[in-house]
Structure 1
Amino acid sequence: MRPLRPRRPLPRVAPAVPVAILAVVLLLVSLVWWVWPGRGGGADTGEGADPAWGAPARLTGVPSGFFTGSDETGVRRIAAVEAWLGGPSLRVGHTYLPGDRWPNIEGHPELFEPWALWKQAGPGRLFVLNVPLLDRSEEGLDDAEVQDGLRRGAAGEFDAHFRTLGERLVAHRLADTVLVLGWEMNGTTYAHRCAPDPESWVAYWRRVVAVLREVPGQRFRFDFTPSRGRDAIPWPRCYPGDDVVDIIGMDAYDQPAGLSFEEQVAEPYGLDFHARFAAEHRKPVSFPEWGLFRNGDDPAYVRGMLDWFARHRPAYQTLTDYCPHGVWGCADNPVSGALVRAALGRR
């Protein structure tokens, strides 16, 4: 889980400006009016996008969301993003369980209740929750510690924590939550990574799903989500099986620096491989995390991702929105923001 950063304030204009300078300022404002996020009136047709990039396909029917923060903070910001998009249009609420210690992985009412109220307030809304598989999730555990944790989990030592999590979600009217278990397992960021012991990782995932499916009243769906590319291990080696996976997701930022969207599609274990793998396993795809990262305001990447969603119709997609990733919460990416508004904005 990445920490939320505050929105950057807009610069102030001096109260007294000479007439000639004011005229230049007004001219510049008129030129950028249609490409600056949150400005203009062309979000429904693509008129807000830079003409050099054209209008991306509209994502009608693709459940979409923005990650703007956890618990009640994230819920409040959804309405502001929808206003920027031109009206209510976001159907996905996405947040993360803290992975520092087991009591937090079990979930808390202060996290779940605001999301439950948001979900009940609109028909067809979807709640997506990222669930760490081990505590001390971002403390840089070495491979031996990770392997030990995976083996203990596969043996059932942590079953009670996940049973409590499932019971709390059902009690808070979130029984149909999409659970993204042990995300980005092919990388090195989290303690729940797969590479130190892929066999134990698979056995542990299967055990956690079995425990959660035993919770009375649950209708959970389970999302297996690696990061794009090979990373520390080819992610198919971590795939736990079609019987315990409902959605095959991918976290896909525009990194590393200089990598084109076409290369992101074609790279080993990239976007094209992901789409074909999901189709072979008869599973829908998802994109729980995507956004800008290494290449600044990158409309080629954003246009590529939006058109990819239109083509492959993911079960849901959620843009990570804070600097440097965002387009609503980050004023540094106006052209990319205009493309997102053109694809998601209300008519």
Structure 2
Amino acid sequence: MSRRSRRLVGICASTVAAGLLLLCTGGDPATPPRGASGGAASGTEVAVGAYLHYGSPGVERMQEFSRWLGGTELRAGHTYLPGDTWSNIEGAPDSLRSWARWRNARADRLFVLNVPMLEGNEAGVPDARVAELIRTGAKGGYDHHFRRLATRLVGLGVPDTVIVLGWEMNGFDYTHRCRPDPANWKAYWRRIVTAMRAVKGQRFRFDFAPNRGGDAIAWTRCYPGDDVVDVIGMDTYDQAPGRTFDEQVTQPYGLQQQVDFAKAHGKRISYPEWGLFRNGDNPEYVRRMLAWIAEHKPLYHSITDYCPHGVWQCGQNPRSSGVFRELLSTVPPGRGRPHRVDFGAGGGS
């Protein structure tokens, strides 16, 4: 799924397993209790994101999002590097300074950065050309770009950044897609990770994050190896494949397979992108997704918060917005007035 306008704000909180939810609340295991994601730092902590903007406005809107959630602590930030030119992939955007300042303001924060693997990433490059570019990368032709990025991140004081490298690689759209040459794509991923890990002072974690479902290629065919992957992510929206949330869980290469695959490989999971889509304002989807997150405790998750996907900047999903705020807010129901900033369908660039 190609989404050209990226917006972000992050929050962080901890969750509890489904069995504990039942024990503590006597409620439906598909409904996490209000505030289940709030609390002090712990080994089961979940960094929650609501993507509001890729640049400095994303940092600025985080405080507003925190107020909307009744003061829930915002401890994770998530943004994207543009994939139009190599200079941007190398970390040229000045907004990285804003994200680095935010990250370094507290020792317990998490910074997540989506990094394209090739320039012209949304340029509609044909498969044959994509295969050529991937082969060049597999031979080391682009290593220097990623060394420069790693050096910039270390220099900005964010050497522990979570790198979501080549996201949605199992899809049809991005130039960094896997299908044209899976073997060399995996070799290229390995080259990038090796190049970035060679920079002194780095402590990066690399997140392998396909689309949910089979899409253009089974994402398991693109997995580059346990030694070069730290987190098994998944981008998942309320759309086909999977008419219901249960089908999104059980479908081939769906949510359950992600969890099982990560467990088999000894990795944490994540959800870099999730949100509403084809089924409109769907509070049950939001409730079920948050319950899934509460049960499986990803390292982080980030709702895509612009129309049609979001719950804060987008005013067209009021019922879903209410569920999201109820379950993640630190304010008891009925106290405090929700504050929504509506930047329009585009999300406020």
Range into which the TM-score falls when normalised by the shorter chain: 0.7 to 0.9
Q: Contact 1:248–1:278 (CA<8 Å) still a contact in 2?
A: yes
Q: Secondary structure at the match of 1:86?
A: coil
- How far residue 257 of structure 1 moved from its aligned partner, in angstroms, is 8.3
Whole-angstrom distance in 2 between the partners of 1:246 and 1:299: 32
Matched, 1:324 2:326: no
The normalised TM-score by structure 1 is: 0.84
- How far residue 109 of structure 1 moved from its aligned partner, in angstroms, is 5.6
User: Unaligned 5+ residue runs, structure 1?
Assistant: 6-51
- Relative distance call for 1:67 and 1:305 in structure 2 (3 A) is same
User: Unaligned 5+ residue runs, structure 2?
Assistant: 8-27, 39-44, 332-349
2:234 is aligned, of 235, 250, 264, to 250
Report the identity percentage.
55
2:92 is aligned, of 102, 108, 111, to 108
Structure 1 segments of 4 or more deviating over 2 A?
Answer: 52-57
2:223 is aligned, of 239, 248, 264, to 239
| 1:1-25 deviations in Å (ceiling 9; x for gaps) | 53158xxxxxxxxxxxxxxxxxxxx
The normalised TM-score by structure 2 is: 0.83
User: Which has the bigger relative contact order, CA under 8 A and spacing at least 6?
Assistant: 1
2:4 is aligned, of 2, 26, 29, to 2
Whole-angstrom distance in 2 between the partners of 1:171 and 1:64: 26
Q: Secondary structure at the match of 1:62?
A: strand
- How far residue 239 of structure 1 moved from its aligned partner, in angstroms, is 0.2
Structural mapping, 1:133-212, within 5 Å? 133-212=117-196
Whole-angstrom distance in 2 between the partners of 1:189 and 1:326: 22
Q: Contact 2:31–2:288 (CA<8 Å) still a contact in 1?
A: no
What residue is the counterpart of 2:74 in the other structure?
90
Q: Secondary structure at the match of 2:193?
A: helix
Whole-angstrom distance in 2 between the partners of 1:219 and 1:205: 17
Counterpart code for 2:92: H
Matched, 1:264 2:240: no
Matched, 1:288 2:272: yes
| 1:233-281 deviations in Å (ceiling 9; x for gaps) | 0000000000000000000011128711011001110001111010000
Whole-angstrom distance in 2 between the partners of 1:224 and 1:242: 10
Structure index of larger Rg: 1
Counterpart code for 2:37: L
| 1:118-150 deviations in Å (ceiling 9; x for gaps) | 112234111000000011000111000100010
Q: Secondary structure at the match of 2:94?
A: helix
Whole-angstrom distance in 2 between the partners of 1:342 and 1:89: 15
2:298 is aligned, of 308, 311, 314, to 314
Q: Contact 2:114–2:163 (CA<8 Å) still a contact in 1?
A: yes
Number of matched residues?
301
Q: Contact 1:289–1:317 (CA<8 Å) still a contact in 2?
A: yes
Q: CA RMSD in A?
A: 1.7
Q: Contact 1:324–1:330 (CA<8 Å) still a contact in 2?
A: yes
Q: Secondary structure at the match of 1:306?
A: helix
Whole-angstrom distance in 1 between the partners of 2:214 and 2:318: 31
